[in-house]
């Protein structure tokens, strides 16, 4: 199993296609950071327009923590597209190249083969998110500095003390990793049914788009299935940036307003991963390799 | 001799179409087993079942005396295979590809052994070059190096000369002979071209539409002193009955398209003709099939199933 995983990782990181996603994330983050650096003041005035007349703000609002939050809001919608480039190619790409049949004539179990390939795509997803974290958080801190973080919610705003932010990002990126591995598991499962990678990549993206629409639209017909859709839970990382308050409405540092919501989402996403990978093993063990 | 492969009643249906139908054969240690049939005859499907890529609908496969089902790991570790096109990772070098697949075998294979393998197939000088720069022939040789890298007892080559130029075909033929004679390997080689098989095979199986047509040793099938005569007479049923009660009985072959088929020494042809005339069997035609190629094309253009060529 370890040997198979090493081989799969070697193959992933030797492929030029792998680095498209790293390049795309670098370019997107650099563009947004440049825009905020040049015109950040106007952007902040726009964001704070409603509150500016009621409150007065001091300090560095456009700090690294805030920029990272903006970046995550924008990018975590697009990262699944980049993950599907690799995950949805894991089996279909091998079938297309003709290497699948050669691999399976070797003395390896199909279950181990699938698990090794899935873990390799999960590791790829993690490295992509680590890269995202380095650029979005650490580079933003280096460029924009640190201060208290200001987060706009639907009906209220949250101000998080600068010394209470970092662990929240660790949690948010950890949660985002789980959400993105769910996407990888979906793409991986769909890659079993085709002999070229285009179909599974498009299918993965289509499933995400459709389920995201179902998750976000407030239509009674779909409300019953919303809690079971993985896309409903993919945005729960934002819960890390909300704090409990005490009876006097004072913020309690180091707390999360709705930890139960995070736990529920972690369980739902984990179950999706287990279901997609379990189904992949079941299908692949029965599959005739005709490519 | 130990049976390396023993296949009994093997059947594979895709939907309801039988790609392989009740196929039985055995390959013994040291054989170079030629697996012949036209495109779509069921050769690749059979080979894929031997390699666990496809699950049989029915039938049994034993390899090295063990049932394939339940002993997959042990059996596959003793096999090296090239299936149809020699597809490898084009973005990796020849050496990286070979090392990657060597890692999947149960054996520890050193750098020197990898280089020796590349040397044997004539790719040592191109070891560091990416496979995307290789010709079809070079990819085929790399595929063979991958099949051989863990020193398997059984080598399965499915259409190994597809897409190769005459020199490439000759190289593969020489390699098969070298592996058989000098390294004592058991080899199964499939092809739709008889000429590729007849120079290397010690035993031949011809299949058509998933069924066995002919199986025999190369000595039997390729013996130039032997010929096959197809007889058409005024009354074939009566003619066949007379031949069955004569010394020619042992040379009779299963009938094809209503004709009487006799396999005999070429020098006995006049004697057969004389017997037919003397016994009042009126001959409409007496047609010798001079070569197995002729016979192969005849039977695989296929109207009728023949159980066996030799007994």
Q: What is the pLDDT of residue B50?
A: 92
Strands B66-67 and B283-289: unpaired
| Partner residue opposite B83 with nearest CB, options A97, A101, A106 | A101
Q: What is the pLDDT of residue A267?
A: 95
Buried-state track B112-147, b at ≥16 Cβ within 10 A, e below 16: ebbeebbebbebeebbeeebeebeebbbbbbbbbbb
Which pTM was predicted? 0.81
| Partner residue opposite A106 with nearest CB, options B55, B76, B92 | B76
Q: What is the pLDDT of residue A159?
A: 80
| Partner residue opposite B89 with nearest CB, options A11, A105, A290 | A11
Beta bridge pairs of residue B265: B226
Beta bridge pairs of residue B252: B262
Residues A181-213 have pLDDT tens digits of: 999 999 999 999 988 888 999 999 999 888 888
ipTM of the complex: 0.79
CA atoms within 13 A on the CB side of B70: 6
Strands B211-217 and B203-208: antiparallel
Average pLDDT value for residue range A34-63: 75
Q: In chain B, which residue ranges form alpha helices assigned H by DSSP?
A: 43-50, 72-76, 94-103, 111-120, 136-148, 166-181, 194-198, 218-221, 236-244, 269-278, 292-300
In whole angstroms, give the CA distance from residue B124 to residue B195.
30
DSSP, collapsed to helix, strand or coil, labels residue B69 as coil
In whole angstroms, give the CA distance from residue A234 to residue A34.
27
Contacting residues of A for B70, CB less than 8 Å apart? none
How is chain B split among helix, strand and coil, in percent rounded to 5? 35, 30, 35
DSSP, collapsed to helix, strand or coil, labels residue B10 as strand
Using a pLDDT cut of 70, give the percent of chain A over it. Answer: 96
Residues B18-69 have pLDDT tens digits of: 888 888 888 988 888 988 887 788 888 999 999 999 999 999 999 988 898 8
Total beta-carbon pairs less than 8 A apart between chain A and chain B: 75
pLDDT by residue for chain B (311 residues), tens digit each? 678 899 998 899 888 888 888 888 889 888 889 888 877 888 889 999 999 999 999 999 999 888 988 888 888 889 998 887 778 898 999 999 999 989 888 788 889 989 988 988 888 888 899 988 988 888 888 888 898 888 899 999 888 877 777 877 888 888 888 888 888 889 999 887 777 777 788 888 888 888 887 787 777 776 667 788 888 998 888 888 888 889 888 888 877 778 898 888 888 888 988 998 888 888 898 887 755 566 666 666 644 444 433 33
In whole angstroms, give the CA distance from residue A210 to residue A232.
12
Q: List the single residue in B with minimal CA-CA distance to A98.
A: B87
Residue A153 has pLDDT above 50, yes or no: yes
Cβ <8 Å between B48 and A101: yes
Whether chain A has a CB inside 8 Å of the CB on B72: the answer is yes
């Amino acid at each position: 199993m370890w040997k198979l995983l090493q081989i799969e990782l070697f193959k992933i990181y030797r492929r030029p296609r792998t680095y498209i996603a790293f390049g795309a994330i670098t370019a997107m983050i650099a563009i947004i950071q440049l825009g905020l650096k040049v015109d950040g003041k106007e952007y902040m005035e726009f964001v704070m327009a409603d509150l500016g007349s009621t409150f007065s703000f001091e300090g560095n609002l456009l700090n690294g923590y805030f920029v990272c939050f903006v970046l995550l809001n924008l990018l975590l919608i697009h990262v699944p597209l980049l993950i599907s480039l690799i995950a949805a190619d894991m089996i279909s790409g091998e079938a297309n190249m003709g290497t699948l049949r050669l691999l399976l004539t070797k003395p390896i179990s199909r279950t181990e083969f699938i698990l090794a390939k899935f873990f390799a795509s999960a590791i790829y997803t993690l490295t992509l998110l680590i890269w995202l974290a380095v650029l979005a958080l650490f580079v933003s801190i280096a460029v924009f500095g640190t201060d208290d973080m200001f987060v706009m919610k639907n009906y209220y705003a949250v101000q998080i003390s600068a010394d209470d932010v970092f662990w929240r990002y660790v949690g948010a990126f950890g949660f985002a990793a789980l959400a993105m591995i769910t996407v990888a598991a979906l793409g991986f499962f769909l890659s079993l049914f085709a002999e070229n990678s285009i179909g599974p990549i498009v299918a993965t993206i289509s499933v995400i788009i459709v389920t995201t629409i179902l998750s976000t639209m407030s239509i009674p017909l779909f409300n019953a299935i919303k809690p079971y859709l993985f896309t409903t839970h993919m945005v729960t990382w934002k819960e890390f940036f909300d704090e409990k308050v005490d009876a006097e409405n004072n913020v309690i540092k180091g707390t999360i307003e709705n930890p139960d919501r995070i736990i529920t989402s972690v369980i739902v996403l984990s179950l999706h991963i287990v279901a997609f990978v379990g189904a992949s093993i079941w299908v692949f063990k029965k599959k005739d390799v005709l490519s | 001799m130990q049976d390396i492969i023993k296949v009994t009643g093997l059947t594979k249906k895709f939907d309801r179409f039988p790609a392989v139908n009740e196929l039985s054969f055995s390959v013994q240690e040291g054989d170079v087993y030629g697996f012949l049939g036209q495109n779509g005859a069921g050769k690749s499907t059979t080979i894929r079942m031997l390699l666990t890529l496809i699950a049989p609908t029915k039938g049994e496969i034993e390899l090295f005396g063990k049932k394939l089902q339940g002993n997959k790991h042990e059996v596959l570790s003793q096999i090296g295979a090239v299936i149809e096109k020699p597809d490898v990772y084009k973005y990796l070098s020849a050496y990286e590809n070979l090392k990657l697949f060597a890692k999947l075998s149960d054996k520890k294979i050193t750098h020197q052994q990898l280089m020796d393998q590349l040397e044997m197939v004539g790719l040592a000088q191109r070891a560091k070059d990416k496979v995307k720069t290789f010709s079809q022939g070079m990819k085929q040789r790399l595929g063979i190096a991958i099949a051989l890298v863990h020193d398997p007892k059984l080598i399965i080559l499915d259409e190994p000369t597809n897409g190769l130029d005459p020199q490439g075909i000759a190289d593969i033929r020489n390699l098969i002979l070298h592996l058989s004679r000098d390294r004592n390997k058991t080899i199964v080689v499939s092809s739709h071209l008889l000429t590729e098989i007849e120079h290397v095979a010690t035993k031949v199986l011809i299949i058509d539409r998933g069924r066995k047509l002919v199986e025999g040793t190369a000595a039997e099938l390729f013996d130039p002193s032997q010929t096959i005569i197809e007889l058409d007479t005024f009354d074939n049923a009566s003619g066949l009955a007379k031949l069955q009660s004569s010394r020619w009985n042992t040379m009779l072959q299963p009938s094809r398209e209503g004709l009487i088929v006799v396999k005999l020494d070429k020098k006995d042809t006049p004697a057969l003709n004389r017997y037919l005339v003397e016994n009042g069997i009126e001959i409409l035609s007496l047609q010798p099939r001079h070569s197995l190629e002729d016979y192969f094309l005849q039977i695989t253009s296929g109207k009728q199933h023949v159980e066996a060529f030799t007994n």
